[in-house]
Structure 1
Amino acid sequence: MPAPSRDLTDTVVAVTGAGGGIGGATVGLALEAGARVVAGDLRADGLDRLVEEWGPGRLVTVVGDVRVETTAEALVAAGVEAFGRVDSVVANAAVGFYGGILDYSSEQVELMVDVTVKGTVWLARAAVRQFRSQGGGGDVVIIGSVAGLMIGGGKEAVYSATKGAQINLGYALDRELRSEGIRTTVIAPAGVNTAFAAADGRFGEGDPSSGPFMEPADIAGAVLHTLQQPRRMRTELWTMWSLAEKH
């Protein structure tokens, strides 16, 4: 007997940071599962590639900066306009820089805090407004990191602080919203082979594509599994590690 699974056909999923990596993989798996998707990103080029691959029928895109509250509102509004509703949001957009507490510029610190923390808060607020308006509950999925649990590597204090904020936001939202049928899940992976991970300096001269790290599709699969859980259950925090990593 197969495990019970919630059908995502024609449900509407909005994803930030969808232009590549985990976000792009999440968009693809959601579409394969029959969902309709609103894909958001700061830049249009990654979104254009998604449209080229999947076509415009069940996919709409929104270009915008998640640091601005109106971007989250536009993402949700695009789903409502195109598909009549939004059932799930995935807060995936994030920024991280690797280095000691004094190695970041003030601009880099502000960028990490604003994108990762404010961007998640704005999306959650826009989603909850829509969920309450349409009824039937919904899902808020946050892509966090094990760094937010103080079990990441060193030299990532500010990044860890932003990821810790996401985890605590998720727990608090769960307590606030679960009675309304709104589920909040934080998925917290360790090292993932993405352009994000390669660019932030944490691997030094190493290449994450050659290391024993997870792939974006692994994390996207966890997102889809979370959304496909029967609505009688929820996952609060899911940590994910490659088999070779230690903590």
Structure 2
Amino acid sequence: MGVVPVTRSEETMPYSPTRSLADTVVAVTGASAGIGAATAHALVGAGARVAVSARREERLEQLVEELGKDNVVPVVGDVRDPAHNEALVAAAVQRWGRLDTMVANAGIGAYGGILDLGDDQLTEMVETNYLGTVWSVRSAVRRFREQGEGGDVVIVSSVAGFRGGADEAVYAGTKHAQVGLAGSLDRELRAEGTRVTLICPAGTATEFAIGAGRTEGSPELDDYLRPQDVAHAIRVVLEQPRSVRTTVWQMWSMQQQS
């Protein structure tokens, strides 16, 4: 397949720096809190419809209440299960007839030396952060190819994927894996009209950060990015004209050391 061509009408239309997300359909994993929930809010605010997944059913139901049943369809499950990712895509297609974007956001983290964490905890983290991303992407790409129009894959990774800290080697390894996956996918899928974007925030003040070694109310969190900062970045890359793609976006707050 070749690169999706620009039509004559598109060439003669006045240039617009953004594309509308109205009525586009987006799947978001890890949407029960933090970046995932903020992304659902941002995209619905831009006119999109979202299929959201997470393990916590009550949190997803809360998201439906906040954003409206016409805008959100929830799918409860574990991103480590390939069938769950297929069900998420199927729910979006059943409700709205198509899928335009997959935001692979689900992830977990833990801080500690290489011998400090248990086998089960490390296995869950590796499977969630890397294999969960792979299964999400596969399900989305399968649908994009059926539709024949390309789409968007957004992988929420971390600056740790480029240089992990001394107390996060395994976590950083999963993020390095996402970086490698995204770069290879970009080279594989661009010719089909599918854009692959890697969003790499530094520390973000979410339940994720609190549960991974920091405590609620920690002064350190005051200097972190907000979930809405990352959600804004996701919205921005999706609103780019289809002729443009952002492959990697690293981001820090003004207070954080890069």
Report the counterpart of residue 63 of structure 1 in structure 2: 76
Give 3-state SS (helix, strand or coil) of 1:173's partner. helix
Instruction: Sort the Cα spacing of 1:234 and 1:206 in 2 relative to 1 into closer, same or farther, 3 A.
Output: same
Give 3-state SS (helix, strand or coil) of 1:211's partner. helix
Q: Is the 8 A contact 1:193 1:208 kept in 2?
A: no
Task: Report matched runs for 1:130-209 at 5 Å.
Answer: 130-150=143-163, 152-201=164-213, 203=214, 207=218
Task: Report matched runs for 1:216-235 at 5 Å.
Answer: 216-235=227-246
Deviations 1:31-66, CA, capped at 9 Å, x for gaps: 010001101111101101111111101210000100
- Mapped partners of 2:209, 2:92: distance in 1: 30
Aligned partner of 1:92 among 93, 97, 105:
105
Q: Is the 8 A contact 2:210 2:216 kept in 1?
A: no
Task: Report matched runs for 1:29-40 at 5 Å.
Answer: 29-40=42-53
Letter in 1 for 2:192: E
Q: Quote the offset at 1:75 in angstroms.
A: 0.4
Letter in 1 for 2:231: A
Q: Quote the offset at 1:245 in angstroms.
A: 1.2
Deviations 1:106-151, CA, capped at 9 Å, x for gaps: 001101110010000001000000000012110000000000101x
Normalised to the residue count of structure 2, the TM-score between the two structures is 0.92
Q: Quote the offset at 1:243 in angstroms.
A: 1.0
Q: Is the 8 A contact 2:204 2:221 kept in 1?
A: no
Letter in 1 for 2:127: D
Report the counterpart of residue 212 of structure 1 in structure 2: 223
Letter in 2 for 1:101: I
Q: Quote the offset at 1:204 in angstroms.
A: 6.4
Deviations 1:185-204, CA, capped at 9 Å, x for gaps: 11000011001001100x46
Give the count of matched residue pairs: 245
- Mapped partners of 2:221, 2:249: distance in 1: 25
Q: Is the 8 A contact 2:225 2:253 kept in 1?
A: yes
Q: Quote the offset at 1:167 in angstroms.
A: 0.8
Percent of aligned pairs sharing the same letter: 52
Q: What CA RMSD, in Å, does the superposition of the two structures yield over aligned residues?
A: 1.6
Letter in 2 for 1:155: D
Q: Quote the offset at 1:206 in angstroms.
A: 6.4
Question: Which structure 1 residue ranges, 5 or more long, are not aligned?
Answer: none
Letter in 2 for 1:9: A
Q: Is the 8 A contact 2:19 2:239 kept in 1?
A: yes
Q: Quote the offset at 1:4 in angstroms.
A: 1.1
Q: Quote the offset at 1:178 in angstroms.
A: 0.1
Normalised to the residue count of structure 1, the TM-score between the two structures is 0.96
Whether 2:253 is the aligned partner of 1:236: answer no
Q: Quote the offset at 1:209 in angstroms.
A: 7.2
- Mapped partners of 2:220, 2:110: distance in 1: 19
Which structure's CA Rg is the greater one?
2
Letter in 2 for 1:243: M
Q: Is the 8 A contact 2:36 2:105 kept in 1?
A: yes
Report the counterpart of residue 246 of structure 1 in structure 2: 257
Q: Is the 8 A contact 1:197 1:208 kept in 2?
A: no
- Mapped partners of 2:16, 2:87: distance in 1: 36
Q: Is the 8 A contact 2:16 2:241 kept in 1?
A: no
